[in-house]
Structure 1
């Protein structure tokens, strides 16, 4: 999905291959007041924002905004822009909602005729969940920051529950009238002469916008490794994106390639249908159950623990990695007996491969319904593959569960943030040909920070819903002018540090391009969004005052379930949610009651 802000020409469009939101400035030349540097441009005939070394009066001509931004204070406007959302997956929906909340008049576009993105099951060759998919993160920790799941929804619910939740989200926040479904975006480019974004919508032609958010997501372009001899294979070869109906593999011998969450779910779905199911992998893996001793495993994470881990991550990164991986390994070993013959140990660190969340994988391995084997070396015959250890396997199908690449192909080369890939990344063994964008905080374009941003390029160990809710909250405040960006030089240095960090991970093993230092990124997003969490739970005057006045709630926030509602509790720049405190108290009370029942039994 992408978010863009159209200019005075208006929005005629249909919708997109991108997820996106765009906003169009009001036509009136004097409808906007100057906040740091804002001008009504007499030559272009409309209001435009500009950042330069000194403020200018309304009506004066501006210099090129890309060359004059020492501090990048983005203007605030009386009537904020008409926005277009290209593809209404999770990232796009929450970006639309948070921009609308700040006064942007947003329109959402999607090539699909439904909202929800991959959470909407479809038989078509599109990325989607299976009907049997169960979420890996609990609803208490995996929801949006101001919209809980229904109370009667299971803590680990199905994909159908999530799809219904997203549709309810759209209805609750009145987003339906802002969405235009069933359209395709062919290209996005910059018109520097007009200082606008040009979005080519299939069937209607070009449309013009002031700002654009590209939010196509991380699951848009399948990653297909090269396999020697695959041209002679007479069986079926497909990516997990095309795996929709397990019954089509009845009686077949299937090799599932990739020991991750998708690989585990795919292999499990084939059990009882296929004749043999192999799961092939080049490295080990950690396996976690969704529930440990009757408690969702992610409920054990608290704000206090996150703060401690964040301190260690920033100051003692190696020790932090060791401690985190040791904790996960201990939880795994307490829940499961991992047999040596499965070749799952030693597992790579979490920064190289996130744990598999599965309640049945170990049982299926124990029952030999899934056979764990090493990686595939080559195709050795029409229906045969050779493994890295020389073993030959009969195979009727190969299913690649090897992930995706973030999609940037709709962007003109001049605005593609991956066009100058860091050489160290390209040469790292863990990069695997994936693009690495140069984006401030893995979100904001360095070429056009006041008008172009990306959703889907930030990753750490948390749920996507609250992560991109916070991300788009932060972006909305930056573009509204309530929060500022550093100078271009400082932003470039920040990106260089991030690339050095991710290249250091990639040189030793697999790495997600969007992986960030969680504590550092969350601290920035909290400040930019104006959520007030760090201030109220920190050691400053605000924190001590909050602790003194409301100690019970302070303790609940620090040591209770680390819910997304924490980002909407306190007043600040972004809109708070009046129901946040009550929801936090309710969730923790219910969790405590379940623990009490568990102990009694």
Structure 2
């Protein structure tokens, strides 16, 4: 008898959940409250209660090679950092390629998204949450405050400052700002998301990579001089990704301010005592997540914290037949992680993977909570924080498809070097194990070609320089990280044995 699995939502996490059910011979039934796929990546002109949606101008913060699903590369023609329309096109391509739509029942589910409200009885101007912000038109020639320095707040401030008479960006702690565009113009997350970087951070004391990251971001602009520097280290907070913010600050079109103390009818008073007349306030202060469709006896969210094994499984259920996919904030792309979680869950449902006991699950939950409390600043943003490679490997190891780089170095050293030195793209998790993909090796070997392709839009008229991805690059990098490779690949291997 074929087991049926209910999937709630046909967005970035729901679509791979459907596909992974099919991979394992299960029968998915997806309930989608709207009449379309794509979740928050489906832009609507007007705000819909309880439904998250991107801004009209939103560009994704993770590059296409790092955010794609593991057996379906994003077309080479698509930009490296895609506008939301391209993200939605990709989801539609994915759904059509694997025939997922026939398993979706549209207009069949309702899910709430709750967000923070602030009492502002005195203020007579316009008050909006970033959830409801769509575009800049109603803010032309206005003076306004954007509250919050996360990705939504930074994006809104940058867009609005081009049409508003003045934008103030209010932040309680400040933030470290990182680029989409990295060294030599490559997507920055391809380097940050490389296995050699994780290996290096594992063998060095934590203050070393923090100092390295601080020097790196301050080379672009001095965060203290721009009133953006927080008290905490760069790796103690989820970073803000924004290429334009320092340009707007140096032009004066965005002025960074501290937290808001109080409101008058026509102005805001900041905690440093300064006062500014404003016409509008936009709150980009984050969301409170929850699962109103689940009984509290199954799982309950308190203070934006939820107790789930691997951020997926309620630990006290008699049978592991319920799983929450994508309830995480990764330092990296969420799409491959959601797919990875779906691969694990479907194998649990099928019976090919057995999860540990309830007590062992609770031990893992408490361990993660303690580690997070030590590493990150206390915040609603850091209750479900995960590191991309570490968490992907963790899930893949349980599910049986974690890439074995030790074996790969012996069998296919060129591929292994790609896996270790370049970005840890999702294709690595299709190289071996259940539901491996024959195209995974080729996808990894050609991933930089897809990075280059959308940038090669004008013939230069002379012989273009060959790719730097050659033997000499590998030689130089190999010498520089020899100790790391030795420790990570061999010392740790024999220790595990």
After the TM superposition, which residues 272-283 of structure 1 pair with which residues of structure 2 at under 5 Å, given as runs? 272-283=162-173
Distance 1:339 1:522 in 2: 32
Given the alignment, which residue of 198, 220, 224 partners 1:306? 198
TM-score between both structures, scaled by the size of structure 2:
0.85
Q: Please tell me whether Structure 1 or Structure 2 has the larger radius of gyration of its CA atoms.
A: 1
CA contact (8 A) 1:143 1:465 kept: yes
Given the alignment, which residue of 200, 206, 209 partners 1:324? 209
For residue 297 of structure 2, give the secondary structure of its aligned residue in structure 1: helix
Q: 2:248 aligns to what? A: 364
Q: 1:161 aligns to what? A: 86
- Kindly indicate whether residue 440 of structure 2 is the aligned counterpart of residue 580 of structure 1: yes
- Kindly indicate whether residue 330 of structure 2 is the aligned counterpart of residue 468 of structure 1: no
Q: 1:410 aligns to what? A: 293
CA contact (8 A) 2:176 2:223 kept: no
- The 3 A distance-change label for structure 1 pair 362 and 517 is closer
Post-superposition CA distance 1:298-354 (Å, at most 9, x none): 121322322343x34xxx7xx33x3333333232223x2236453111453345432
Given the alignment, which residue of 361, 369, 373 partners 1:499? 369
CA contact (8 A) 1:478 1:484 kept: yes
After the TM superposition, which residues 278-427 of structure 1 pair with which residues of structure 2 at under 5 Å, given as runs? 278-292=168-182, 293-300=184-191, 301-309=193-201, 311-312=202-203, 319-320=205-206, 322-334=207-219, 336-338=220-222, 340-346=224-230, 348-350=232-234, 352-379=236-263, 381-418=264-301
CA contact (8 A) 1:561 1:588 kept: no
The count of corresponding residues between Structure 1 and Structure 2 is: 453
CA contact (8 A) 1:353 1:510 kept: no
Q: 2:426 aligns to what? A: 564
Shift of 1:589: 4.9
Q: 1:537 aligns to what? A: 405
After the TM superposition, which residues 483-494 of structure 1 pair with which residues of structure 2 at under 5 Å, given as runs? 483-494=353-364
In terms of fraction of residues, the more helix-rich structure is 2
Work out which structure has the larger RCO, using CA pairs closer than 8 Å and 6 or more positions apart in sequence: 2
Post-superposition CA distance 1:181-237 (Å, at most 9, x none): 122348xxxxxxxxxxxxxxxxxxxxxxxxxxxxx8xxx32233x45xx10110111
Shift of 1:519: 6.1
TM-score between both structures, scaled by the size of structure 1:
0.71
CA contact (8 A) 2:393 2:402 kept: no
Q: 2:130 aligns to what? A: 240
Distance 1:363 1:144 in 2: 34
Shift of 1:402: 0.8
In terms of fraction of residues, the more strand-rich structure is 1
- Kindly indicate whether residue 10 of structure 2 is the aligned counterpart of residue 121 of structure 1: no
- The 3 A distance-change label for structure 1 pair 327 and 590 is farther
CA contact (8 A) 2:176 2:239 kept: yes
Post-superposition CA distance 1:150-179 (Å, at most 9, x none): 110011121100010001111111001001
Q: 1:443 aligns to what? A: 312
Shift of 1:460: 3.0
Unaligned runs of 5+ residues in structure 2 are 456-463, 469-497
Shift of 1:596: 4.5
Distance 2:223 2:320 in 1: 53
- The 3 A distance-change label for structure 1 pair 172 and 155 is same
- The 3 A distance-change label for structure 1 pair 178 and 440 is same
Given the alignment, which residue of 93, 106, 115 partners 1:181? 106
